[in-house]
Chain A
Amino acid sequence: MSWLTTIIQKAEIPQLKSVSVVKNPSGELLEYWSSIHFDEGRLAAYFTDIVRAEGRIREVIAMNLKDIRLTVESNHLTIAVHELSERFIGVFIFQNPIPLGMVRWNLKKLGEAIAPHLPSEALETVSETKRLFDFIARYAPDPHMMLRRVALKTKIPYAKLLDPDQLQPEETTKIKSAAEDILGTRIEL
């Protein structure tokens, strides 16, 4: 049984239907629990998109709030996005009816329970290049051909791209620029 399942079972929240713990901004799924069926990988990626967009909105209106809270409501479901740490967000799906105050209270409790299980910055040994590749793989069109495309764009041999930890900083800069061109957006990791 995963640590997340244990937390959910202990919490005993009947309206809670799904929890995804997602790396931000790569959108990579760290841990997942659900009693309903859907494509959790896509959900994680889309909500990370929303969090990124929300970050840009805050830039525009010059807000400097650290904690992110987003809520999407429909007749049947309430979906809440909660910042768990600087590198992780949680996507929580509740079945309605559930008061928003109760949602917020549960988010706080669940967030506190989840936080100790998140990899710390110190333990995160993943290089910037590896994170960059994870990001491109998640968002680029035709991800199965992504490294070949990056090779052509950067003129870095494909075999070298297969071992991102061996790449030099100037090569990582080239890869980032290629990725920004492939995606048509600025990448901040």
Chain B
Amino acid sequence: MTWNDLNSTTASLDFISSNPVVYHCHHFNLFLDQTVDDFYDPERGTRIRTAMARSACETLLQSLYRSLEKQHTHLLPPKRIELAQNLFKDFGHGRLFIYGDEEGGKVEGEYLHYGFAWREKYGRQVERRHPADAFAGGFAAAALQTAYEAKHPYAAKETDCIATGATKCKFELTKTERSEVDIHIPDVTTMEPFLTSFSPMAGAEEERIRQIEAGLRGFLAGVRGDQRGLVEAFGVFVTRHSANYYNGISYRMLADLTRTAPFLKESAEELLRESGHVCVFNTFGGILYSPEWEANFGRIEGGLNEVVSSCMAIARALGFGHWTIAELSENHLVVRAFTEYESPFCLANDWAPRSGNCYFLQGAALAIMRLYDAIDWQEKPALDQRLYLKLFKSEHPWKVTQTKSLANGDPYSEVIVSR
């Protein structure tokens, strides 16, 4: 069995055993976690992110075991843990070694995506004071809980982390009474209203987008973690990740912030958009620069339609949803997403926002126009932190607004980028 056997794709959304998954890079992962910690404080932020990871991964692993049981594969707890560890590694999160039973356990981690990537990106510049691998901790807790079908959840505490200078990451798993997060984890059934009525209007360059998406999906089907359990490609570390984790931590933070400090909402939204912006600039840019792209789809010359339609195809192939180009000019881009991975979570949780809610889509669309506008595609400057800061440190003319949302009952989510 491969993960592809349990994968389904509908309308450019990907599911593993009915659970929504997307590809995201370390720039997005680190910035989003950091934003959550900035609002709560690192200790509470870590607890909430760990609990969210546990909830999202518990649902994912349970449905994975159910899918296997339907195929008459019944796994005992040690085999379930082994399967979970393999999934973690193949999805580019690093290597986890979980030792435990119903009473709890210990976990060791090697090359864990968050800690390792943090050290690579920021380690020479910043001294980190708190551990980075809440997602790995939550995943390990969920793996133990679902392996033993325990009635209670486990709390995961990272006691050693390479991002804070340890040689190896270590966690303790202990029984806990209640979950710190109260969310409904949506699965494919939550998305059925979108998926059954899915009949997108064709946007610009639709045929080109469709062809490139198909080519990229063929390439991605063979991507999995290397011996370290990392996926290092296109100049970034890539993970296949639970969309519910991203949505859970983002919208939970926004809900708490709206209740306790509504004057911070604009800043939080700006930072959530930035997660998408930094992701698209680096990952999409890295893909467009790559020899694999040139070999399969030709060299990018830097034309407006060419760059933007290529980015739409990449977004679809990474499982972000069915994004289309509704309008496009040198000063203006309208993206309509007939599916996207953010709104279903908002529909499933009544405390989550219903309008202006697609922060990743907003940041991504903004970055797509800036990629077109700011990069000299003939020169192809290195897409590194120096270039990023040089381009975006000062005020820039591009702005983005969201005008429609699937979460609000609109037929699509729409964002407008203009200058």
| Residues in chain A within 8 A of chain B (CB atoms) | 139-145, 148-149, 151-153, 155, 157-158, 181-185
Chain B residues in 8 Å Cβ range of A140: 126
B166 contacts chain A at the CB level, 8 A cutoff: no
The 8 A CB mask of B34-50 against A (1 = contact, 0 = none) is: 11001101100000000
A148 and B267 form a contact (CB under 8 A): yes
Q: Given A145-B274, A148-B271, A152-B271, A181 and B129 touching (CB < 8 A)?
A: yes
B393 contacts chain A at the CB level, 8 A cutoff: yes
Cβ-neighbour of B267 out of A141, A158, A182 (below 8 A): A158
Chain B 261-285 residues near chain A, CB threshold 8 A: 261, 263-264, 266-268, 270-271, 274, 278
Q: How far is the CA of A185 from the CA of B389 in the complex (A)?
A: 22
A182 to chain B, nearest CB (A): 7
Known: A140-B126, A152-B39. 6 other contacts (CB 8 A): A139-B125, A141-B126, A144-B394, A145-B271, A149-B38, A151-B267
Chain B residues in 8 Å Cβ range of A158: 264, 266-267
B389 and A144 form a contact (CB under 8 A): yes
Residue of B nearest to A182 (CB): B126
A152 and B267 form a contact (CB under 8 A): yes
Q: How far is the CA of A183 from the CA of B128 in the complex (A)?
A: 8
B122 contacts chain A at the CB level, 8 A cutoff: yes
Chain A residues in 8 Å Cβ range of B264: 151-152, 155, 157-158
A–B Cβ pairs within 8 angstroms, 25 of them: A141-B121, A141-B122, A141-B125, A142-B274, A142-B278, A145-B271, A148-B267, A148-B271, A148-B274, A149-B38, A149-B271, A151-B264, A151-B267, A152-B35, A152-B38, A152-B264, A152-B268, A152-B271, A153-B41, A182-B126, A184-B126, A184-B127, A184-B128, A184-B129, A185-B127
| Residues in chain B within 8 A of chain A (CB atoms) | 31, 34-35, 38-39, 41-42, 121-122, 125-129, 261, 263-264, 266-268, 270-271, 274, 278, 389, 392-394
A157 and B128 form a contact (CB under 8 A): no
Chain B residues in 8 Å Cβ range of A141: 121-122, 125-126
A148 and B389 form a contact (CB under 8 A): no
B86 to chain A, nearest CB (A): 33
Chain A residues in 8 Å Cβ range of B261: 155
Q: Given A141-B126, A152-B35, A184-B128, A157 and B393 touching (CB < 8 A)?
A: no
Chain A residues in 8 Å Cβ range of B392: 144
Interface-centre pick from A139, A148, A152, A158 (highest chain B CB count, 10 A): A152
A1 to chain B, nearest CB (A): 27
Chain A residues in 8 Å Cβ range of B42: 181
Q: How far is the CA of A142 from the CA of B38 in the complex (A)?
A: 14
Q: How far is the CA of A182 from the CA of B42 in the complex (A)?
A: 10
A183 and B267 form a contact (CB under 8 A): no
Q: Which 10 A-B pairs have the closest CB atoms?
A: A184-B127, A152-B38, A151-B267, A148-B267, A152-B39, A144-B393, A157-B263, A158-B267, A184-B126, A153-B38
Chain B residues in 8 Å Cβ range of A184: 126-129
A149 to chain B, nearest CB (A): 5
Q: How far is the CA of A104 from the CA of B263 in the complex (A)?
A: 55
B359 to chain A, nearest CB (A): 13
Q: How far is the CA of A145 from the CA of B128 in the complex (A)?
A: 18
Residue of B nearest to A160 (CB): B263
Chain B residues in 8 Å Cβ range of A182: 126
Chain B residues in 8 Å Cβ range of A139: 125
Chain B residues in 8 Å Cβ range of A183: 126-127
Chain A residues in 8 Å Cβ range of B125: 139, 141
Chain B residues in 8 Å Cβ range of A181: 42, 129
Chain B residues in 8 Å Cβ range of A149: 34-35, 38, 271
Chain B residues in 8 Å Cβ range of A152: 35, 38-39, 264, 267-268, 271
Q: How far is the CA of A142 from the CA of B274 in the complex (A)?
A: 10
Chain A residues in 8 Å Cβ range of B278: 142
Q: How far is the CA of A106 from the CA of B263 in the complex (A)?
A: 55
B125 to chain A, nearest CB (A): 6
Residue of B nearest to A155 (CB): B261
Q: How far is the CA of A181 from the CA of B261 in the complex (A)?
A: 21
Residue of B nearest to A183 (CB): B126
Q: How far is the CA of A114 from the CA of B41 in the complex (A)?
A: 45
A148 and B128 form a contact (CB under 8 A): no
Chain B residues in 8 Å Cβ range of A144: 389, 392-394
Q: How far is the CA of A94 from the CA of B34 in the complex (A)?
A: 43
Q: How far is the CA of A151 from the CA of B128 in the complex (A)?
A: 20
Q: How far is the CA of A185 from the CA of B41 in the complex (A)?
A: 16
Q: How far is the CA of A40 from the CA of B121 in the complex (A)?
A: 23
B406 to chain A, nearest CB (A): 27
Q: How far is the CA of A182 from the CA of B125 in the complex (A)?
A: 11
B390 to chain A, nearest CB (A): 10
Chain A residues in 8 Å Cβ range of B270: 145, 148
A175 to chain B, nearest CB (A): 13
Chain A residues in 8 Å Cβ range of B31: 142
Q: How far is the CA of A143 from the CA of B34 in the complex (A)?
A: 14
Q: How far is the CA of A184 from the CA of B131 in the complex (A)?
A: 13
